[in-house]
């Protein structure tokens, strides 16, 4: 097994599942990935999660994290302010096959999303006492917790990987796309080869107070969300077409993939920042 040098190019948090993300100057590592990442979620009347897959206009809901509140803005809507330390009634929510404990955020948030999406919805917050674990078939003996993420705490991708996707898009007469479409948490730079993250085992970053160690456990199979334009909320198919041409992965049954799902091995309560250096293990023992 060898090591390659990497750097953090950017860090991203997505406070409300399937709404726009935020590029942050620092990210606090917690049990479920990054603090406040996928901490809130829009649900239907039965508590079932709603995403850009069926409601691409969620991409236009733009969050701002402030010291005491989360502010949500969307076209045609007044800003919605949600206090970070306030929840209302206990609730239940469903993410894929997991039924988890949550807190309802109240009628104001529910009405805001109902008016914007044109269908009855509620807004919920993940219950920090809930222990939702990532799939042990991929994490092994490490019990990795998640919040409202699809399945794993973090997603790691690289600048080189996006450059290759864009090279193929432009060659086919399509517009290049931004990394935001792929909704990563950690974007790496310093890699020469596109999709080099596919072969990485662990990445160790030299954070203040000690290392932050991430284990890359599963290729991220892509759905329709990367084809939602974050500027317009309109859905296309160019990204999926390009990925289908060269990114099928037998490790996930031949699905198309981009980026790697990751779990936290070490470094809780430590902070990652852009520009931070790291070392990634590549290959096999």
Q: Where are the domains of the chain?
A: 2-282
Give the residue-averaged pLDDT of 201-225: 97
Q: Which residues face 124 on adjacent strands?
A: 41, 104
Would you state the structure tokens that stand for residue 182, as one six-digit string?
Answer: 């792929």
CA distance 177 to 241: 13
Per-residue pLDDT tens for 155-181?
999 999 999 999 999 999 999 999 999
Quick one: pLDDT band at residue 283, thresholds 50, 70, 90?
A: confident
CA distance 106 to 132: 23
10 Å CB burial of residue 72 (0-12, 13-18, 19+) is: buried
Per-residue pLDDT tens for 122-147?
999 999 999 999 999 999 999 999 99
**What is the side-by-side strand order in the sheet with 271-272?**
33-34, 27-30, 271-272
Per-residue pLDDT tens for 90-117?
999 999 999 999 999 999 999 999 999 9
What is the reported pLDDT for 52? 97
DSSP-derived pairing of the beta strands 186-189 and 154-158: parallel
Contact between 127 and 101 (Cβ < 8 Å)? yes
DSSP letter for each residue of 114-164? HHHHTS--EEEEE-TT--EEPPHHHHTT---EESSSSSSSEEEEEHHHHHH
In this predicted structure, the answer to whether residue 285 has a pLDDT above a threshold of 80 is no
> Whole-prediction pTM value?
0.96
Contact between 27 and 11 (Cβ < 8 Å)? yes
Count CB neighbours of 173 within 10 A: 7
Closest CA to 184 of 30, 3, 2, 38: 38
Helices (H), 151-213: 159-171
Quick one: pLDDT band at residue 284, thresholds 50, 70, 90?
A: low
Q: Which CATH architecture has domain 2-282?
A: Beta Barrel (2.40)
Count CB neighbours of 9 within 10 A: 18
């Amino acid at each position: 097994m060898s090591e390659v040098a990497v750097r953090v190019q950017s860090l991203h948090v997505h406070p409300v599942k399937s709404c726009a993300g935020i590029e942050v100057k620092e990210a606090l590592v917690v049990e479920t990935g990054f603090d406040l990442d996928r901490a809130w979620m829009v649900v239907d009347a039965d508590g079932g999660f709603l995403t850009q897959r069926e409601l691409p206009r969620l991409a236009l809901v733009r969050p701002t994290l402030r010291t005491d509140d989360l502010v949500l803005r969307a076209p045609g809507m007044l800003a919605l302010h949600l206090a970070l330390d306030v929840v209302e009634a206990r609730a239940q929510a469903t993410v894929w096959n997991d039924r988890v404990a949550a807190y309802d955020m109240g009628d104001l948030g529910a009405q805001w999303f109902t008016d914007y999406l044109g269908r009855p919805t509620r807004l919920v917050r993940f219950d920090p006492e809930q222990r939702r674990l990532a799939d042990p078939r991929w994490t092994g003996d490490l019990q990795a917790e998640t919040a409202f993420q699809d399945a794993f705490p973090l997603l790691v991708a690289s600048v080189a990987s996006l450059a290759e996707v864009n090279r193929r898009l432009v060659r086919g007469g399509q517009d290049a796309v931004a990394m935001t479409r792929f909704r990563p948490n950690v974007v790496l730079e310093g890699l020469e080869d596109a999709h080099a993250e596919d072969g990485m085992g662990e990445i160790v970053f030299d954070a203040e107070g000690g290392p932050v160690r991430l284990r890359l456990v599963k290729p991220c199979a892509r759905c329709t969300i990367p084809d939602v334009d974050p500027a317009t909320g309109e859905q296309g198919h160019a990204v999926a077409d390009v990925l289908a041409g060269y990114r099928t992965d037998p490790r996930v049954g031949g699905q198309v993939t981009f980026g790697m799902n990751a779990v936290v091995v070490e470094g809780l309560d430590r902070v990652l920042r852009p520009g931070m250096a790291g070392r990634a293990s590549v290959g096999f023992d």
